[in-house]
Structures are given as C-alpha cells and as structure tokens.
Amino acid sequence: MNAIPDEIAILANAGEQMIERLRQKAFLPEARKALNLRFGIAEAAQLLGCSTNRIRMAEDDGRLPPPVPTENGRRPGYTIEELQLMRKVLGASPSRPDGDMPAIMAVQNFKGGVGKSTVTVHLAHYLAIQGYRVLVVDCDSQATTTTLFGFNPHFNISRDETLYPYLSIEPTQDDLDYAIKRTPWPNIDLIPSNLELFDVEYELAAAGVDGQSVLATRFRKLKQGLAQIGRNYDIILLDPPPALGTISLAVMQAANALLVPLAATIPDFCSTVQFLSMMDQVIAQLTAAGFEIDYQFVRLVCSKFASNDPAHSMVREIMAKTFGAALLPTPILESAEISHAAIRMMSVYELDRAVGSAKTHKRCRANLDEVMGQIEILIKGMWTRQASADASLALTSQ
C-alpha cells in the first residue's frame, strides 16, 4: 500500500497549523491584523498636497478634531482613518472623476516566484495611503494575497466567501457583494481566496466541449461583476493564478490594464517572453470569439533586483533593450525589509518602525514609493485620457 498520499496530507495539515500559529503570533493580542500606522503632520501635509499650517487652521476652527496629546504632551501622528477625514474636509481626495471606470489592473505572470502577490499588496497599500479606494481580488487558490491581508485561507475563509459561488458552473450568487471583506485599511476591501477556489477550474474542465457556452459565460461574468461593484472603488487589483486556466482567462478579459512583474534572471526573462507570446495568442483567439479586451496600458516591472549584482544589472539592461518604454524605469529592489515585513505577514507600508536598520528601511520605502508612484501616474493617465476623449466628443457634437 502506498503511504505517500497520507504523508502529503500530514505535511499539508502541519503546514496549515503552523501558518495559523504564525498568524496569531504576528497579530497579537487579538490574533487579528491591526494597522498601527501614524503619520506626522509634515508627512500628512505632503500626502495631502497642502501646508502644515492649513491642517492646523482646520483644527483650530473646528473643521478637524484636534489630536489628543500623548501622556508626555507630544502631538501624536495621524492614523490612516484621520488622514482620510482630512482629505474629505480639505478637499484633497484623489478619487477618479465621476463617470470614469475604475482602473482594473491584473498583476499577472505565469512564472511563479516573481513577487506577484508582494507587488499587488504593496501597490494596494501605497494607493490607500495616497487616498484611493481600492478593492483587491485574490483570484489565486494559493491565496498568498489573502494571507498577507491577515486572513488564514484554511481556517478563516470558506469556499462560499471566495469567487467560487459566483463563477462556479452552478452559481449561487448573482453579484460579488457577498464576497467583499473589510481589511485593517479603511479604504481597502478584499475578495479573498482559498484552495477550494480551484474547484472552478475542475468544474469547467469537466464540462468539456458541451460546456463551451458555460466557459464563455464565465469569461464575461467576472468583468460584469466587477463593473457592478466598481462604482465604489477607484482602483481594482486582480491577483490571478500563475498559470493559464479558466480563472486567468476571466481575469485577462476583465482587466483594463496589465502589470507584469519579472525577476532579473535569464530564466525569468525567457519565461516572461513566453508568457507574453501566449497572451498575444490567447487575446487574438478571445477577440476572434467576440470578447472585448482593451488594456489602457501594459507595463513590466523588474522585481527582486539586487543593484550590487552584476548579473542582475546585465539582465535589467537586456529587459530595457527588449521592452523599451513598456518596462518601468525603476526596478523594485531586493530588500531585507520586504522579507522582514513578510515574516510578520505585512507589507513595508504597514511597518510602524524599521525592522532592520533605519537606513535600509528608508531606502526600501523610497524605492517602493518611486515604483508605485510611476504606476499611479499611469492609472491617473487612464482617467485623463477618458476625460479628454469625452471633452473632444462634446466639442465635435456642438
């Protein structure tokens, strides 16, 4: 009798138990993730694009509640909730223009280990700090993004809380409202995932040729569902599986922008070229079948880049020569601070203090801000182009 399946089950169970213990240790005392970020008045003013004096004046005239002094009489930093209120009172919200569609960005590569979920989570947190309303949709049954948001996919999330009831071959949900969960960030919501989401792939594969109409419906359904709830968000980030399957195809069709992370190695470069070739073929087939796919922008971002490694620099140069302007000008640096944050099931943006040296933390945060800021500019450009197109149409119709 082959005991290997039993051994695998034992190993999997032991791993799930350990993840839960790590999660509880990271999120003590209540075993739930909390956000302990504070922003000084100078940083808050910079984020809001105003002077510190304007914030103080709003506090003095009662438009903003004055901060409660600490025990030693010092002025405390502002929480992310207080920062959101300041944006509302001072008219500093960067939300998308009325009438524009939210940016729906897929962070996708069929090559594993490129930092896809890490990029997704850091981008979501950066955008939240800037004041945007963000929805993160974990479409990957490995559920790394769900874990980084403080949920244990094995213990805290059931199949009925994922995309499964909406995308399954016999759906029990007509919209995606049921799956939206609050996160510790007041302006980030999450649709979580767990291993059982993979059942969607099994079901649709089992449908075979007779299920072609079902497949077509599922490809369109995710896009339709996101359009229904998109009015509540500025940006929707999709984290799909690192493989070409039904869910990946649905994500591909639902997105209006694509971000492709790739590490600075030759195997990753070659794999990403194959991914792009496959995407090109699949998009052509989907378009021929009547599916509308329209990406406002496609960008690649070099991740896990070691600036002191000559091999990484060489591959980064190859990327630049190959992809040109489609490659973001700044790579995401490999940093111990990202690893330290991940051990705590956090992003660097959630750390209230440096884990390693202050210099390492500052360098890492500055690098992430620069990369994520470049993506933010692209997103805002989507709305600008839409607004310009609408204005041109209005002028020609007069």
The model's pLDDT over 330-376, given as tens digits with 9 standing for 90+, comes to: 999 999 999 989 888 889 999 988 888 889 999 999 999 999 999 99
> How many CB atoms neighbour CB 46 within 10 A?
13
Query: Among 27-41, 115-129, 158-172, 215-229, whose mean pLDDT is lowest?
Result: 27-41
Average pLDDT over residues 126-152: 94
Q: How much of the chain exceeds pLDDT 70, in percent?
A: 86
Residues 345, 218, single domain; the answer is yes
Measure the CA–CA gap between 213 and 16, rounded to whole angstroms: 37
Say how many residues make up the chain: 398
Provide the residue type at 284 as one letter: A
Sheet containing 188-191: give its strands across. 181-182, 188-191, 134-138, 235-239, 103-107, 257-263, 298-303
For the entire predicted model, the pTM comes to 0.87
Residue (of 357, 373, 329) closest to 94 by Cα position: 373
- Residue-number span of the structural domain to which 61 is assigned: 41-90
In a domain, 224, yes or no: yes
CATH number at residue 121: 3.40.50.300
In a domain, 146, yes or no: yes
Assign 2 to helix, strand or coil: coil
Least confident of 16-20, 97-101, 137-141, 285-289: 16-20
Q: Check if the beta carbon of residue 237 is closer than 8 Å to that of residue 124.
A: yes
Q: How far apart are CA 44 and CA 79, in angstroms?
A: 10
Q: Are residues 119 and 241 in the same domain?
A: yes
Buried b (16+ CB within 10 A) or exposed e, 267-306: ebbebbeebbeebeebbeebeeeebebeebbebbbbbbbb
Average pLDDT for the chain: 85
Is residue 96 assigned to a domain? no
Residues 286 and 333 in one domain: yes
CATH of residue 63's domain is 1.10.1660.10
pLDDT for the residue numbered 36: 81
Amino acid, res. 395: L
CA angle 277-214-170, nearest 5°?
125
pLDDT of residue 92: 87
Higher pLDDT residue, 20 or 1? 20
Residue 29 has pLDDT above 70, yes or no: no
Q: What is the pLDDT of residues 209-250, one digit of tens each?
A: 454 556 667 778 899 999 999 999 999 999 999 888 888 888
In angstroms, what CA-CA distances link 351 with 21, 125, 144, 303, 345? 20, 11, 19, 20, 10
Q: Is 59 in the same domain as 110?
A: no
Of 306, 93, 314, 265, the residue nearest 187 (C-alpha): 93
Residues 85 and 66 sit within 8 Å (Cβ to Cβ): no
Does 78 lie in the same domain as 111?
Answer: no
Whether residue 154 is found in the same domain as residue 176:
yes
Q: How many domains does the chain have?
A: 3
Render pLDDT for 61-79 as a digit per residue (tens, 0 to 9).
999 988 777 777 777 789 9
Query: Looking at residues 165-188, what average pLDDT do you find?
Result: 93
| Tokens, residue 41 | 């008045």
pLDDT bucket at 391, cuts 50 / 70 / 90: very low
Selection from 249, 378, 282, 390 nearest residue 326 by Cα: 378
Instruction: Examine the domain organization and report whether 269 and 375 are in the same domain.
Output: yes
Same structural domain for residues 83 and 157? no
Same structural domain for residues 283 and 319? yes
- Same domain for 209 and 70: no
* Within a domain: 194: yes
CA dist 90 and 54 (Å) reads 9
- Domain assignment present for residue 310? The answer is yes
Answer yes or no: is 59 within a domain.
yes
Asked if residue 95 belongs to a domain, the reply is no
Report the alpha-carbon distance of residue 330 to residue 301 in Å, rounded. Answer: 8
The token duo for 395 is 């002028």
5-9, 25-29, 292-296, range with greatest mean pLDDT: 292-296
Of 156 and 333, more confident: 333
Helices (H) and strands (E) in the chain, counts: 14, 7
Of 325, 298, 303, nearest to 316 by C-alpha is 303
Q: What per-residue confidence (pLDDT) applies to 2?
A: 54
Q: Which two tokens stand for residue 25?
A: 């240790």
Residue pLDDT, tens place only, 79-115: 999 999 999 999 888 888 888 889 999 999 887 778 8
Same domain? For 243 and 391 the reply is yes
Task: Report if residue 240 sits inside a domain.
Answer: yes
Lowest mean pLDDT among 41-55, 254-268, 330-344, 373-387: 373-387
Cα–Cα distance for residue pair 159/279, rounded to 1 Å: 29
d(CA 42, CA 64): 16
Residues of the chain with pLDDT > 90, as a percent, come to 54
Residues 83 and 222 in one domain: no
Position 272 pLDDT exceeds 50:
yes
Whether residue 394 is predicted with pLDDT greater than 50 in this model: the reply is no
